[in-house]
A and B are shown apart, each in its own frame.
Chain A
Amino acid sequence: MVSALRRRAGSVARFVLLVFLVTVATFLLLELIPGSPIDALLPQDATPEQIAAAREQYGLDQPIWARYLTWISSVLQGDFGRSYQTGLSVAEQIAERAPVSLELAFLAVFVALAISIPVGVWSAYRPGGLIDRVSTFVISATLATPAFVLGILLVYVFAVQMKILPLLGWTPFSEDPVEHIQRLVLPVLTLAAGECVLFTRLLKGDMMATLQQDHVLSARARGLPTWRILLRHALRQSSFSLVTVSGVVIGRLIGGTVLVEAIFSLPGMGTLVINAIHSRDYLIVQAVVLLTAVLYLLINTLVDLTYPLLDPRVRKVRTS
């Protein structure tokens, strides 16, 4: 009991330490970038007075540790600052863009699961059969196609050649639900493709192991219909890894939709950060990295804490 509590406290401490390290690293990294936030703000014909005023205004005369402390203390009070370029509050801008990336990440995982579960289950049931072989081949092929290549190819086939889907851009759901969904199709497919591979393999492996187990064989012997065995008995038990991995994947994707957003010109957090790096809008980069790291670590820690509760087998096989 005590050791379990201590372990959880340790997890929390590690979490905080990691977040702190990530923010420090971001600061240092951005410091390395040549120039400073005011470079993108000053006009070409900036007068010396303007340059001096800018430096003072943005505290660039202060040493880096002082700037870090100023920033972290305002963050802890909930103030992420204002974007240098637009004057909008950083929190507002992220809140505006985050739903796009989140929607992409969740939908991608959902679509990937929707495809992988039937395929994985059936391949485990009939290994070496047609579905298994076709899906293995498709999996290898998709895995081999980088996301940006896949995205461009999908655009070429569906938007340029067949002209049934729009090329790029975003329409909020509130504005036009139909167009919103249309614009989601290609990006979500691109993202989901990579994850399908992972899910199918994982599920297939687990299912095949489960199908060998006694309770399944006994259910078979009792004459239960196949689908019921597959879905209710085998799948439920094999799905633990899938569920936890989905959580991890969502966490990863939230920070990882950058490429797809760039290809399809979607106003998500990924494009927000890239533009912010290019226009030296550091406060945005710092805030997004912080948020992504926190979400990722949070999801991982939660998953890690609950996993042994779900799957008794794992409790024994621990590596630490």
Chain B
Amino acid sequence: MTETVRERVDAAPAPQRPTASPEREPAQKKRRKRRDIGAAFGAVWIGLVVLGAITADWLPLRDPNEVTDVFAGPPSGEFLFGTDAIGRDVLSRIVFGARISMAVAIGATSIAMIIGVALGMCAGYFRGKVDAVLSLIVNFVLAFPPLIFLIALVTALEPGLLTLVVALALIGVPNFARVARANTIAFADREFVTAAKALGARPLRILTRELLVNVMLPVMSLALVVMATLVVAEGSLSFLGVGVPPPAPSWGGMLAAGRESLSEHPLLVLIPALFFFLTVFSFNRLGDWARGRVGRESSI
């Protein structure tokens, strides 16, 4: 199956550490420490973004849709990040825009995770026909050019946050299904499962009690990476004009609009770009850290 190759593609494993020779240790210890700092930063940043998204309404911010007559103004006392082309406060739009990015990232990932894990575990546990059908579905979704699918789907249904979340969730299901399946297979032979079977436990109980817990660890680390991808996807769709429609502020939309005046007012592009960068970086770092904690073999 193409599983083998794809797993190598997706796993892109953290480099296997050979038996360390003494003079190599300090360097590796340093690397481990740096990674921890990176992950810590990531956790803090994501926490801030999510907090901002949740509490946006109560923060002392201007209305993100309020137009003023300060067009494309530079950062000032009144507008900490400046204003956009029609005079709206960039800082406030960034904070409210975080809502869209986080809703899409976390919402779509959660849905994809639930569906994907359910499907993957069933395929991995029951094998046979169930497995064959699942792999067909997975390959089908992967063969369809994703961006075209997204654009067509969003054009078909009305562009909006819900459509976006559903569409991106659908694209994310195969990833979770594959990891869940692989881990279910890996764990299904273990003694505790055999023991449960011998005791007469029904499949559902085995799946939820014994296997789910073990499968969820690598799945969670994947989830963090998928969240990063979806933040980017939302931005790309807004950039192509099929994201969340105006006037809702979104980072991708701000980037697309700022591009028009790139040479005169680069800040309108650089600020949302910076937020994208830090958010995606944080998710990736957290994902790396989680994967490091869980161990390499679980990403097969």
Contact = CB atoms under 8 A, between A and B. Distances in A.
B94 interface: no
B13 A144 contact: no
Interface stretch (B78-86, B106-114, B146-154, B211-219): B146-154
Interface stretch (B26-34, B50-58, B194-202): B26-34
B16 A277 contact: no
Given A127-B15, A145-B280, A209-B16, A259 B148 contact: no
B255 A152 contact: yes
Main secondary structure of the interface of B (DSSP, over half): helix
Contacts of A259: 147, 236, 239-240
B156 A148 contact: no
A258 B280 contact: no
B8 interface: yes
Given A147-B236, A259-B147, A318 B4 contact: yes
Interface residues of A, number: 76
Nearest to B238: A148
B185 interface: yes
Contacts of B9: 198, 202, 245, 248-249
Contacts of B187: none
A97 interface: no
Contact of B155 (A33, A128, A133, A297): A33
Interface residues of B, number: 70
Contacts of B131: 320
Contacts of A297: 139, 143
A293 interface: yes
Contacts of B182: 319
Q: Which of A19, A128, A202, A296 has the most CB of B within 10 A?
A: A128
22 contacts: A29-B149, A29-B153, A127-B28, A129-B27, A133-B34, A141-B277, A143-B280, A144-B281, A146-B280, A147-B236, A149-B273, A160-B262, A208-B17, A209-B18, A258-B145, A259-B240, A270-B147, A277-B155, A289-B145, A292-B145, A319-B7, A319-B182
B1 interface: yes
A124 B156 contact: no
Interface of A: 14, 17-19, 21-22, 25-26, 29-30, 32-34, 124, 127-129, 133, 136, 140-141, 143-149, 152-153, 155-156, 160, 197-198, 201-202, 204-205, 208-209, 211-212, 241, 244-245, 248-249, 255-256, 258-259, 262-263, 270, 273-274, 277-278, 285, 288-289, 292-293, 296-297, 300-301, 303-304, 307, 314, 317-320
A312 to B, nearest CB: 13
Contacts of A300: 2, 5
